[in-house]
Amino acid sequence: MKRAEIVRKSDEYGRGCDRECSRKYRRKYDRKYDREEAVSTVVAVMLILAILATCISVYTSTYVPGLKQQAEIMHSQSVEQAFLRFASGVDNIYGQKKSAKFSEPVVLGGGDVLLSSVKSGGMIEITDFRAGELLITGDGSPVDTVAINSTCVKYTPYFSSWENQGYLYRKGTVWVTKNNETKTAPASLSLNSVNDGYENEKNTIRKYFEGMADTWRTYPAPDLGTANAEITIVTMNAVKPDTISGSGSAVLVSSAVEDSKEYILEKPGEVILKNTDGYGKSMPFSGNTTLTLKILKIEVYTS
């Protein structure tokens, strides 16, 4: 055999051997490569998760407490504004002395932030108290006594990550309370001290009673020898539901409805309007007077 033919045959055998070896060992090489690639992917994912867990841990331990306190402060400010608007609505009803209804939303809990959705809670309680009375007399003897009430609305927070700062509406004044009313301060910026707050309560109730006294009217009746008289009083009362608690939203409602009573007074007498803070006014009437007592009832409740 010639040398060139021998070389050609050797090349063919070599290439055939290479192809045969490639077919024989390809799967083994591919499996090894696939395992190495899978291991590197798992390691990369574990590193990413470790970095993410570290970032979350730093965020929750360093930033979350401060963010929750900031969220609680913002929530407390929103409750304060809601109480101030409620006080303004009640003051408007006393001024207009007409049927009206005001609804003020109040968020009971706050403090939820990213990765910490736990919220604080709060409770609203409504109670009423005696603010004064209207006394009708005839010939020196009492005919009827009508109670004039006012309402106290109290918000108390709980499970707060900030200070336990609550709010209290009483006698037209909004107070900031702490530690269940052991410390109080007026919420309005125009009141600089606790004494200013107490004085504002007294002046507000006096203004309300003076407004009622200003509605006193007497005028002759069509029949000779008789007369008519009328007066309008405003009273606030807590009605059910008067308590609500939780971490969601509530609505503080003040609804004024009109009512009236009529008295036939044969003997001369007087109508005495007075409050518990020392204000009093007497309004006399003659005999044979028909007295119409208009009562505006402000019902305060939650929903």
- Interstrand relation of 121-138 and 100-107 (parallel, antiparallel or unpaired): unpaired
DSSP letter for each residue of 59-101: IIIIIHHHHHHHHHHHHHHHHHHHHHHHHHHHHHHHHH-S-EE
Q: Which of 33-42, 142-151, 247-256 has the lowest mean pLDDT?
A: 33-42
Helix (H/G/I), strand (E/B), else coil: 53: helix
Q: What is the pLDDT of residues 30-46, one digit of tens each?
A: 555 556 666 678 778 88
- Mean pLDDT, rounded, of the chain: 87
d(CA 268, CA 33): 114
Q: What is the pLDDT of residues 10-20, one digit of tens each?
A: 444 444 445 55
Q: What is the pLDDT of residues 180-204, one digit of tens each?
A: 777 789 999 889 999 999 999 999 9
Q: Enter the pTM of the model.
A: 0.80
pLDDT at 58 over 50: yes
**pLDDT at residue number 223:** 74
The full set of domain ranges for the chain reads 62-302
Helix (H/G/I), strand (E/B), else coil: 151: strand
Among 190, 163, 172, 1, which Cα is nearest to 73's?
A: 163
